[in-house]
Chains A and B, each alone.
Chain A
């Protein structure tokens, strides 16, 4: 299988913590010429959407992962051939072999689908597993895996131990594993009408793979597809519609669940008289607008006060890492931004917020929020937060219990600013009722690290700052 003249296109690593990506659009089709660095496709990860440039020049030979499919970082998603090379016909439907849970197939015996489960619309896992036992290698039964075999095995989710080896001492050679993968892909190819194929009723007896001489060039390598729940296993009841979860939604779902499984969430709330902030904002807003083109929001005031208060509460800006407590001399402030389509939320991070004054924070938030809505954030701008502010109050809600963004220790909720009758003291010390703009703030914190009293003091100090806001001190 000579692929010497072909360039493999792999799912790129977009940021440190991103492990998979979804192909949203192919900008080139098989047969199209591509230049090096020319946009080849668009991908979406749970953090960002971006274009992927072509790693080389030539003709797009074949697309291995179709639009809408999600694969791990590093998976080969297309091949670019030399100019003039014939393009392989693109499969009309999503690559069927992608449905087979390739990485586990070698270890697990196939299980017949539960009777109640509707038949999957695509081919069931191909009955090539379990793998044939290879001829026992000589010697101690262990076989050395060469670097290239290790790499191919990882790329294709194959356990080298199940591949019959023809090298010295039964070693699996590169040719062996390529022939094995070719034969497996060949065996896994579904018949023309998959819907009519009966599902396997019982674990089939081990089937030897077809001869290794199967023409390798004709077989598309099986992409690694450890995609969690395969789309297509759910079915709509009458009146329901189905839509696939995008990468961002799956990321949110996974993160929310993991956070609740990790932290001991407790929420405390406090009411803040925002009279001074309201007055100051009224005064500064036109100035900021005129001189800096920045819209001064209440969020900027709250953020500035939060950053200042966090200096006295390092654990609330900290994290539990293993058995250690991490504290920092900096604040990377995350704030939740709803996407324009209302179908997701992203948390850009304002780095080193402790170095910024009110104007700097207002500018930073405006810039990140704008780019978040346009999906133009860079991967590193959504990572590394140490504390997060979320604002569910935009629609009038006065209380909430947000979920902490892991691995942080707390998240502040800001709520609707409402005029309320408020008991204040007049100049004689008598209680009177006044009309004041009140905002509720909540601190949801990880009770493993942050005690209730600590959270209470943090909220008290934060309120103090906001209620005594002095133009000259920020």
Chain B
């Protein structure tokens, strides 16, 4: 065990995978000599050589297309998008080719796309997005959104093992803000198993990524008022742990779905719809969504604060929900 930050856990996990499996290699913009925009792969080229830590041209299409071809030839590429926002450039390679290859030809595409995502540092509209729902909508892709250092390491190992294209959303805001004890040895965390971040019976917050910590802080404040809120971390959106969510709904009958992505068409809508379909008779209040408004992410710090759901927003919504 060692205390690692979220980004250290990702870095260490990736290094372990590369050490144990020669098929694993990384590619991306400035991942080699420079060590990656966020230094996740710092020192990797020295250890693994330039052929396993490949600096690519500034072309996300080339990165994802190259990774897909390498996967077809039996390798296990881990491709880094400098920012998750840039994955849109590779939409066609990812959505049209990689996601559908197994369906068309029964040839698996075991690629991992590491996607530094999320706001909170005034990165503005091109460096702060959370585009997970766009890809959750595409059959053939898996979507992973770790919230803790332990999960980041374990889920990365599972992602590399998985025979499908996996989008690994790393939240930039968590990179150096959270630390936790992380096992030294390699371990995997199965996809589709939600994690109870904090127990409670009065209402449940279903969330993932950085919002897990926002929800937990809101829950702590309400605990001081005698209300116990469960915080359920989905960990992976595709697949998502429907059964565990429905269990919480049946028990608490009050649900708040929280995400940093914008509201309309966000993955919270899918969760809310599923709850309404499968647990309607267990609801004691309307399902509440707290999410970013439907605008691009603003640069200005006060505007960005107004944009990203804050602890106060969640506290207010939970108070209303509990009192309903």
Contacts and interface: CB of A to CB of B under 8 A. Distances in A.
Interface string A1-28: 0111000000000000000000000000
Contacts of A171: 324
A168 interface: yes
A2 B251 contact: yes
Contacts of A167: 323-324
B3 interface: no
A150 B282 CA distance: 9
Contact of B281 (A3, A4, A148): A148
Given A167-B324, A168-B324, A149 B251 contact: no
B282 A4 contact: no
B247 A148 contact: no
A139 interface: no
A173 to B, nearest CB: 6
A198 interface: no
B306 interface: no
Contact of B283 (A2, A3, A4, A147): A147
A156 to B, nearest CB: 14
Interface string B226-259: 0000000000000000000001001101000000
B34 interface: no
B276 to A, nearest CB: 9
Contact of B284 (A2, A3, A4, A146): A146
Contact of A149 (B201, B280, B284, B323): B284
Contacts of B201: 2
Contacts of A151: 281-282
Contacts of B323: 167-168
B278 to A, nearest CB: 12
Given A2-B201, A174-B253, A147 B324 contact: no
Interface in A151-186: 151, 167-168, 171, 173-174
A193 B324 CA distance: 43
Contacts of A150: 281
B180 interface: no
Give the size category of B's interface with A: 10 to 19
Interface residues of A, number: 14
A173 B324 contact: yes
Interface in B310-324: 323-324
Given A146-B285, A168-B323, A174-B253, A4 B247 contact: yes
Contact of B250 (A4, A146, A168): A4
Contacts of B324: 167-168, 171, 173
Contacts of A147: 280-284
Interface in B196-236: 201
B281 A174 contact: no
A146 B283 contact: yes
A151 B250 CA distance: 12
Interface string B288-324: 0000000000000000000000000000000000011
Interface string A176-212: 0000000000000000000000000000000000000
A4 B250 CA distance: 7
A213 B109 CA distance: 58
A60 to B, nearest CB: 20
B198 to A, nearest CB: 16
A388 to B, nearest CB: 39
Given A146-B283, A148-B281, A148-B282, A4 B251 contact: yes
Residue of A3, A146, A168 most packed against chain B (CB within 10 A):
A146
A2 B253 CA distance: 11
B228 to A, nearest CB: 11
Nearest to A154: B281
A248 to B, nearest CB: 32
A173 B322 CA distance: 10
A146 B252 CA distance: 13
Interface in A380-417: none
16 contacts: A2-B201, A4-B251, A146-B253, A146-B284, A146-B285, A147-B280, A148-B281, A148-B282, A148-B283, A148-B284, A149-B284, A150-B281, A151-B282, A168-B324, A171-B324, A173-B284
Given A147-B282, A150-B281, A167-B324, 19 more contacts: A2-B201, A3-B251, A4-B247, A4-B250, A4-B251, A146-B283, A146-B284, A147-B280, A147-B281, A148-B253, A149-B284, A151-B281, A151-B282, A167-B323, A168-B323, A173-B284, A173-B324, A174-B253, A174-B284
List of 4 A-B pairs having minimum Cβ-Cβ separation, nearest first: A4-B251, A174-B284, A151-B281, A146-B284
